[in-house]
A and B are shown apart, each in its own frame.
Chain A
Amino acid sequence: MDFVAILSIFVLACFVGYYVVWSVTPALHTPLMAVTNAISSVIIVGALIAGAAAGSTGSKWLGLAAVVLASVNIFGGFAVTQRMLAMYRKKERPAPRP
């Protein structure tokens, strides 16, 4: 892909992001931050490439360290978002107390 093609994807995605995020209900802004956190860890893709590449030991270990960090974020981010979203309930439900 050439630079302009990538830039096009980026600019269009910014617009998509703008409209999608404005439609998020304010009540879910905390889960929004948690889940954006999880998905921004897609940076793990770069970490995996570095971790799998031969040729530079330093690069490989930096990659593996980044894999661990991003993985904490991915699993932690999605799990905590799931936990929060499961708490949002409508009226007229049996109210279990912890």
Chain B
Amino acid sequence: MEHVAVNPWVALAYLVAGVCFILALRGLSSPATSQRGNRLGMIGMGVAVVTTLVTHVPLTATLIEGADYAALIARVDYAAAFEIVAAIALGALIGVGVARRIAMTAMPQLVAAFHSLVGLAAVLVAAAAFLNPVAFGIAVPVLFPDGSAVALINPVSRVEMGLGVAIGAITFSGSVIAFLKLNGNMGGKPILLPARHAINLGVLAAILLLVAYFTVDQSPWVFWTVTLLSFAIGFLLIVPIGGADMPVVVSMLNSYSGWAAAAMGFTLHNSAMIITGALVGSSGAILSYIMCRAMNRSFVSVIAGGFGAEAGAGGGGAAASDRAWKRGSAEDAAFLMSQAEQVIIVPGYGMAVAQAQHVLREMADKLKAHGVRVKYAIHPVAGRMPGHMNVLLAEANVPYDEVFELEDINSEFAQTDVAFVIGANDVTNPAAKTDRSSPIYGMPVLDVEKAKTVLFIKRSMGGVGYAGVDNEVFYRDNTMMLLADAKKMVEEIVKSLD
């Protein structure tokens, strides 16, 4: 059970890094302190990386032979040091390049891609530790009588390593699938394999049993089988989950990437990694919980997948064409809103797809010039990841104090003249409050129908939301449907407002 002696200053430095990370998240409690928090996060990372670089300078042993002595002395291996610096620089170049260019609407894909990198990095580190355990201080060399030597890995470290590689691999393959779905390379519809629950549970059980077996047998096959099975289960778990549940999936993978880091922190006895892993793990778990609550779905049912599979085939869609609804024009919308005292804008994923956030802010500015009070109402699951709408509105220079969360603004719809729904559907469906048979029954929704007039931008009357249910709001007397591409429609409204 030997461990490399830890220099107290080094342990202290990692602790400082951990505290910096806590403060980084703490800063996000308000937009005003968030940038300072982010800088603290960078400082923490800097401390952790520099500490590791300084304490783990690559060395080579050189044999010095004099006339009457021979000695092995350690020298800095400059080539190896250069390789490490080059690896960091290469990563920095790619990372900053991507971060600068990425469109804000593509943020969910980017985050999924980043998660996959954390997962893969965890797998690689675990594999490296397995191949060279002595370097990580987790093994004792055992010399057999026949002269062969084996580095026997501590049983506790084997469990940590096994769990680390498993969580890392699940994070990786799961995130790759999530990325493909969010990026549109793969259909958003859930793909359902027969007997998938039995297969998934079987594979999970096999992984756990193998990790347990790993403590008595450190053969490579055990380690690599765990790795392969974990890659497979990550894939199998995410494939059956539909597009509407992606906010939960992205949050969940966020959580996994944290637990993977924590597991590796246990292996390396590194407090910075453990603190960070715990922070990120709980962060992702809380976000998943918030998203599940906002959809009134249990976490288990999201993981079980299949939601949205019956879209189109469901009963609600057929009735759509028979019922009477009112169609409005951009001029009607402009007139109604310019006469209003208060307008609440309800953005959804459709706004992101149409990239309508900038022109939407222009419309809001025009309305404000007419003396109209404009507010934005955001449902927690609007968009494809937590907070997605807020970022898009911020990108369009919408001041954040005009943007409200569901529970803060829902009571205001009754005193509002116009609710302007753009690209949102399920999150406004009153069936969630009244219709027990609806798949979204119980989900908290924005009470747009209580406003004097509802303006609802939608591409066509045919399509239904991701939950595959018809929306009662379309057919109400106080609703005016604006059928067009969200961006074009808002552009026309802006013109009419002049």
Q: How far does the alpha carbon of A16 sit from the alpha carbon of B270 in the complex, in Å?
A: 18
Residue in contact with B87 in the complex, picked from A3, A59, A71, CB distance below 8 Å: A71
Nearest CB of B to A32, in Å: 5
Question: Quick check: A23 and B26 within 8 Å, CB to CB?
Answer: yes
Contacting B at CB under 8 A, from A37-89, are 37-56, 58-60, 62-89
| Central interface residue in B156, B279, B365, B395, by most chain A CB within 10 Å | B279
Residue in contact with A62 in the complex, picked from B57, B127, B284, CB distance below 8 Å: B127
Question: Quick check: A68 and B91 within 8 Å, CB to CB?
Answer: yes
Segment with Cβ contacts to A, from B251-259, B451-459, B463-471, B476-484: B251-259
Question: Quick check: B260 and A43 within 8 Å, CB to CB?
Answer: yes
Segment with Cβ contacts to A, from B63-71, B115-123, B413-421: B115-123
Q: Report chain A residues within 8 Å CB of B122.
A: 43
Question: Quick check: A36 and B121 within 8 Å, CB to CB?
Answer: no
Q: Report how many residues on chain B are interfacial, defined by Cβ distance under 8 Å.
A: 125
Question: Quick check: B34 and A28 within 8 Å, CB to CB?
Answer: yes
Considering the complex, give the chain B residue whose CB is closest to the CB of A26. B405
Residue in contact with A66 in the complex, picked from B115, B121, B402, CB distance below 8 Å: B121
| Known A43-B121, A43-B125; further 11 A-B contacts with Cβ < 8 A | A13-B279, A36-B258, A45-B268, A50-B135, A66-B121, A66-B125, A67-B88, A75-B92, A75-B96, A89-B400, A90-B399
Whether B222 is near chain A, meaning CB under 8 Å from some CB there, is: no
Q: Report chain B residues within 8 Å CB of A77.
A: 95, 99, 114
Question: Quick check: A75 and B95 within 8 Å, CB to CB?
Answer: yes
Question: Quick check: B388 and A73 within 8 Å, CB to CB?
Answer: no
Q: Report chain A residues within 8 Å CB of B410.
A: none
Q: How far does the alpha carbon of A75 sit from the alpha carbon of B81 in the complex, in Å?
A: 20
Whether B250 is near chain A, meaning CB under 8 Å from some CB there, is: yes
Nearest CB of B to A4, in Å: 11
Residue in contact with B129 in the complex, picked from A24, A50, A78, A97, CB distance below 8 Å: A50
Question: Quick check: B87 and A64 within 8 Å, CB to CB?
Answer: yes
Contacting A at CB under 8 A, from B26-70, are 26, 28-31, 34-35, 37-38, 41-42, 44-45, 48-49, 52-53, 56-61
Contact A36/B395 with A29-B287, A70-B121, A72-B91 known, Cβ cut-off 8 Å: no
Question: Quick check: B135 and A78 within 8 Å, CB to CB?
Answer: no
Q: Report chain A residues within 8 Å CB of B31.
A: 25, 27-28, 85, 88, 90
Residue in contact with B57 in the complex, picked from A30, A39, A52, A75, CB distance below 8 Å: A52
Question: Quick check: B386 and A66 within 8 Å, CB to CB?
Answer: no
Nearest CB of B to A68, in Å: 5
Question: Quick check: A22 and B394 within 8 Å, CB to CB?
Answer: no
Q: How far does the alpha carbon of A90 sit from the alpha carbon of B397 in the complex, in Å?
A: 9
Nearest CB of B to A8, in Å: 10
Whether B349 is near chain A, meaning CB under 8 Å from some CB there, is: no
Considering the complex, give the chain B residue whose CB is closest to the CB of A7. B266
What are 17 of the A-B contact pairs (CB < 8 Å)? A17-B22, A25-B29, A26-B380, A26-B387, A28-B28, A29-B290, A29-B390, A34-B107, A36-B279, A40-B260, A43-B121, A45-B14, A45-B268, A50-B129, A56-B128, A69-B120, A83-B100
Question: Quick check: A43 and B118 within 8 Å, CB to CB?
Answer: yes
Residue in contact with B25 in the complex, picked from A9, A14, A24, A83, CB distance below 8 Å: A24
Q: How far does the alpha carbon of A36 sit from the alpha carbon of B125 in the complex, in Å?
A: 19
Question: Quick check: B104 and A84 within 8 Å, CB to CB?
Answer: yes
Question: Quick check: B92 and A35 within 8 Å, CB to CB?
Answer: no
Q: Report chain B residues within 8 Å CB of A90.
A: 31, 399-401
Nearest CB of B to A6, in Å: 6
Q: How far does the alpha carbon of A9 sit from the alpha carbon of B31 in the complex, in Å?
A: 29
Question: Quick check: A82 and B38 within 8 Å, CB to CB?
Answer: yes
Considering the complex, give the chain A residue whose CB is closest to the CB of B172. A69
Residue in contact with B278 in the complex, picked from A13, A27, A84, CB distance below 8 Å: A13
Question: Quick check: B386 and A29 within 8 Å, CB to CB?
Answer: yes
Nearest CB of B to A37, in Å: 5
Contact A76/B94 with A34-B111, A52-B84, A69-B124 known, Cβ cut-off 8 Å: yes
Nearest CB of B to A45, in Å: 5
Question: Quick check: B42 and A80 within 8 Å, CB to CB?
Answer: no
| Central interface residue in A43, A62, A92, by most chain B CB within 10 Å | A43
Q: Report chain A residues within 8 Å CB of B472.
A: none
Q: Report chain A residues within 8 Å CB of B34.
A: 28, 31, 85, 88
